[in-house]
Amino acid sequence: MNGNSKKLAALVMIVAVAMVLPVAMVSADDHAGKKFIQGTWAVTGMNGGLLALSGFDPKTLEPNDGVAFPIGPQSWKGTYTFHKNGTVDWDVIIAGVDPAIPNVPLTESVLHGTGKLYYTLAHGGKITFTAVHGTLKDTPVTRPSDPVIYFDTDGSWDGVISPDGQSMQVTWGPPLILFMTDEHYNPTPTEFIVSGSFTLFRLND
């Protein structure tokens, strides 16, 4: 290969690398940078589970007193608003069936769920959520006189973002345990385990 051919080959390689490198960098930044995900996303999904007045054994997930009551099914719709500081605002409407607790009539209800979460992103589009303590609550809509439900969790749940960055799938379930609290977010013995699947899609940046 003469000198001109070598120079031409080197130039072609430089151009090829210059074209591929930005794509690779953008792809990596997409799933690792907070800017990629910030904005408002619509969410829909279904949820159901069990409620135990005396809580669950964290290892076996069995009710501590051997008694648990069904929750749901529940349908969710609303928004997740992601901020580049690593938090997300959760604002959803939850329509479902109240748990069949003894001496409490089985009824349907609508709740307004609000809260704040932390989120972290990893390669491959994986996203992990944890609760910002003292922010999660469900406010009754159909029966405003019913008490507000305050709850919290020390666990985490996750999902995956689509390659085009326009949608994500989020699930939660065992071994994640949610616990009810009082209005000051002090834990109570009552806990619930839910299993849900949610689809989010981007509305705006």
| DSSP secondary structure letter of residue 14 | H
Q: Between 70 and 200, where is the model more confident?
A: 200
Predicted local confidence at residue 204, as pLDDT: 85
Residue 29 — pLDDT band, cuts 50, 70, 90?
very low
Give the separation between CA 83 and CA 66, rounded to whole angstroms: 42
Pairing of strands 69-82, 87-97: antiparallel
CA distance readout (Å), 49 to 114, 184, 191: 19, 25, 11
Kindly tell me the burial class for residue 131, based on how many C-beta atoms sit within 10 Å of its own C-beta (0-12, 13-18, 19 or more): buried
Q: What mean pLDDT value characterizes the chain? A: 85
Domains of the chain: 33-204 (2.40.160.20)
CA distance 91 to 93: 7
CA distance 89 to 87: 7
Instruction: Give CA 180 to chain center in angstroms.
Output: 18
Mind listing the pLDDT tens digit for each residue in 118-128?
999 999 999 99
CA 199/CA 159 separation, integer angstroms? 10
